[in-house]
Structure 1
């Protein structure tokens, strides 16, 4: 199969077969636009109707720096820039997407039933914090049992440090991590090792610094809808077609030009669209009829509204639109159990977390149209019990749930380890898709804090806003305690968030790593091959207070059973399921179970392949 090396975009700087460059910009708020090449040559662009301006010239070629110039003299980067070596306000660079020579032309991805996700932030994943440095750690991930890495957003952001959710140039991998070809080299190296690569993308807002769209394309946003970041992106109003195309092409660009295996779409509940066909549905259809025809492409949502219909399966069991959704419900219930925390949104899960975990394991979402007290009684979610477990991504930690804590503390630094091992065994071996956050495999205790690189009034606003955010928590009622919260703009906050790779060889981290490896090897050998074609058939077999058994029918008809006790007191008179033991969260649990007892904070998995 011949794979494309570039994605043809109807805007931006597109290298032509004869070596010239076509520049195209949608600027409906500007009466005229010119393009400045290099150090000052300025060429007028022709008006092409409906707000478009274009120019094809042989005065530019691959490597040429350029900016668009508005009538008032303001120089702006290309919103579809492929590379910004001098940050968001600097010049864009014409790139030759075909210059990188891919080594793994035969790669067509991996099926979703084999997915074990590993979320990572490129800048803090390694000491150097670059795409190329990340390659050196891929063998470690393969050894652990990870099958897919998921990169936090890469869209060019202001400064040198950011989680990535403040990006303003969605087509340009941030130069703090390396060049676009360096990113391709990372993806190529991952594919060489059998690892899929996912990218987190943000289509609900732009960051607060470096976004110039309002200067020439005011119709990109609309006051008819609002999000937590202000006026919403215009997906459904007048002149919304170029806006929708801008993000649809962004998805296709990452999948085709960079050969990502999938995307995770950030906070899609903040993508507001009253069109007859929602943007998310159109986007998925373009992917399924495009790059998704010839290889495995997986689309994953983050959606606080729990909209199950976006996860529907067709008659053949394959996703109609989206492959899966991050299951925050599962996380919140599990986190409450592990930590006993009950503030904020955890208050909705603290009263009966085991009941809710059982509902999540068997039905997917916990909130399926139920009223949410945290949301002032508003109903949340849609019925999801008919969906297969592979429609949900379960996790105990992610960037949000760690980094949005005041000090960025991780579970291994704050939770009882026996509790944590029990929930790890549940999470990594459930028929849902598991996700680890970088370092979680060895019980990393270094924090992952919220950090950015803003200056002046914006930096002050971010710092003070974060401290005000925590003022409602009793432990931060005192102003002196709030001052202890790390300054997001300090380089030290970023440096302290980098992984401690040396910890892997020290106790207790080496034992954690071995534990994770054993669970994921059991998943790879016993569960993943049987997940192909898995349906929604599951249920609670028995329940004894905090102890229970849950059974799933797998794709090959075998039965997969979890026996767990997620409370501190031992349970008696518990039944041993049919089949053989596959894994246990503590050594020797099966011996006690055979005598009818189940210790507190324990989990065991059984496979009955005779069904």
Structure 2
């Protein structure tokens, strides 16, 4: 199976059946390109009319090479599969058949079973370090890990969203076969989803402008950088091939596409979905997930598996913390009604004007199944993009947070936890990178300037307390402190997580394929009663009170699944409580 279904991307270094390696580069800005193999003399490549350069060379796996796009500039392969010396070093030829899979018959898991755990490989000890955590995650009730981007980036530490070589796993985390071994090990227990970034390239080690200016679309720049020309076939195929490369050669169970709203060619999504459907093996479960500010429910109807529900996170954050600055302004006006809409219809914004941007946002979503939405209380963005990286446990009162956590794990939406959340982690998660000289200064000062508009950081001296993203200490502080697991509070959180996920596995997850909302009613200040029809005909009801006072009477469920209150809460909901049951 592993050889039959291997996928060969169009670009990069590909081993041929005759023992040669075929090198392919799109460099439309160049009339000539040569390839330098190891330290040997350079060899001219053949150019076609579209600016695609090719050459077949006798060289084995492990061979180092660069492209000479100018007499004075040698660059790594933009489709490099391996960068042993980092993004400024040579690329290396790899053999996709070299790794011998121990789980070649793994078909994935159906989406309704998903309980996602987002993690950063570098903070957990690289690919091998993540492998060591899989047993405890499975025992807890996690069914899928989602790994933040692993593509090669400048320096030795980065969130991954400043990557420049989308096909090459970062050597800071391990060799490509170490990543395959992680996926292979996980497939005895869990699904593995990879976060991919196609909307921009990082600032360190990106040489595409030197030889492929046509790769970019300067008319559609975003806040992350220069726009990318997805409408060009070579560019569209470069990224579609990247998805298939991760799904087929590395056997990931799915990808999460970061900032999909910045991909301006909407047709690309359909092409991606169709190519994936044609390529994957019959019966295999593969999941295409979006992060999409546009709330494009059409993509979910057309076959994309699910979308991160930022609306759900944001309104819950407002209700738990009282914060209303920045994008939380969109959820400041009557958040209880907004949360009710999220629980009933999925998205809060379905075409209404966003007061933060002044533009319309979103599309109707009430007809979509509940598992089209991924709900979360924390993730890398909303935690790490805070100036001081505080976790939600440091910002919210215990009882309402407990109730919201129960909502997260018992809601018919797909839940996602952020690493350490399962034990109530208090370690901050900060924005970190490893840039140097002028770029390091620009990133440090740019981040501090970004927070100048927030009331807590209008004082220039206060802004100096924002950690330097480039400092090693910033990276080290972001590592979840596992000692917290063994504290009384940590053990309570772990048992809470385990018991809630056990309830989900038995009573909810098996019946989510066509689950849909019946209603979500505001029953008081920051209090909601929501009901969903599950596949087996039962009705899941969740009554939530995030206020600091009791709310009105509710009907008693036929089977009480869970109550976060210290005393039985049926006729009235105590402050900061949740009651879940089946009818």
What is residue 339 of structure 2 aligned with on the other side?
Answer: 357
Aligned to 1:168: 164
2:27 paired with 1:32: no
Whole-angstrom distance in 2 between the partners of 1:541 and 1:304: 26
d(CA) in 1 for partners of 2:56, 2:439? 38
How many residues matched? 583
* 1:4-403 map, 5 Å: 4=4, 6-58=6-58, 60-124=59-123, 126=124, 129-193=125-189, 195-236=190-231, 240-273=232-265, 278-291=267-280, 293-312=282-301, 320-376=302-358, 378-403=359-384
The equivalent of 2:529 in structure 1 is 549
Give the match for residue 560 of structure 2: 581
Measured against aligned partners, the alpha-carbon deviations of 1:442-472 in whole angstroms (never above 9, x if no partner) come to 0100001000011111110100000001111
Aligned-partner SS, 1:49: coil
Quick one: which of 400, 411, 420 aligns to 1:430?
Answer: 411
User: 2:400 touches 2:545 (CA, 8 Å); kept in 1?
Assistant: no
Contact 2:560–2:580, Cα closer than 8 Å, also in 1: yes
Match of 2:540 in 1: 560
Deviation at residue 541 of structure 1 after TM alignment: 5.7
C-alpha contact (below 8 Å) 1:3/1:105 kept by paired residues: no
TM (normalized to structure 1)? 0.93
> What is the distance in 1 between the residues matched to 2:524 and 2:383?
32
Secondary structure of the residue aligned to 2:239 is helix
Q: Distance in 1 between matches of 2:237 and 2:552?
A: 60
Displacement of 1:305 after TM fit?
1.0
**Alpha-carbon deviations, 1:539-582, whole Å to 9, x = none?**
136724433321100112111111222211112432213x2011
Q: Is the 8 A contact 1:225 1:272 kept in 2?
A: yes
Separation in 2, partners of 1:541, 1:268: 32
Q: Distance in 2 between matches of 1:492 and 1:263?
A: 30
The 3-state SS of whatever aligns with 2:70 is coil
The residue aligned with 1:603 is 578
Contact 1:5 1:97 in 2 (8 A): no
Task: Supply the distance in 1 between the matched residues of 2:40 and 2:432 (Cα, whole angstroms).
Answer: 36
Across the aligned residues of Structure 1 and Structure 2, the Cα RMSD in angstroms comes to: 1.4
In 1, distance between residues paired with 2:223 and 2:394?
32
- Quote how far apart the aligned CAs of 1:229 are: 3.5
Query: 1:261 and 1:354 mapped to 2: Cα distance?
Result: 36
Structure 1 residues 54 and 542, CA gap change in structure 2 (3 angstroms): closer
State yes or no: 1:523 paired with 2:504: yes
Q: Which residue of 1 aligns with 2:437?
A: 456
Q: Using the alignment, how far apart are the partners of 2:224 and 2:547 within structure 1? A: 41
C-alpha separation in 1, matches of 2:15 and 2:555: 67
DSSP-derived class of the 2:399 partner: helix
Question: Does the aligned pair in 2 maintain the 1:407–1:449 contact within 8 Å?
Answer: yes
Task: Quote the offset at 1:509 in angstroms.
Answer: 1.0
Cα distance between partner residues in 1 of 2:411 and 2:188: 28
Equivalent residue of 2:581, what SS?
Answer: strand
Give 1:292 shift: 6.3
Structure 1 residues 433, 21: closer, same or farther in 2, change over 3 A? same
The residue that corresponds to 1:440 in the other structure is: 421
Q: In the aligned structure 2, how far is the partner of 1:598 from the partner of 1:222?
A: 54
C-alpha distance in 2 between matches for 1:504 and 1:359: 35
Q: CA deviation at 1:4?
A: 4.4
- Structure 2's unaligned 5+ residue stretches are none
User: Which stretch of the first structure deviates more once superposed, 525-534 or 482-491?
Assistant: 525-534
Whole-angstrom distance in 2 between the partners of 1:260 and 1:133: 18
Q: Is the 8 A contact 1:4 1:257 kept in 2?
A: no
Cα distance 1:143–1:490, how it changes in 2: closer, same or farther (>3 A)? same
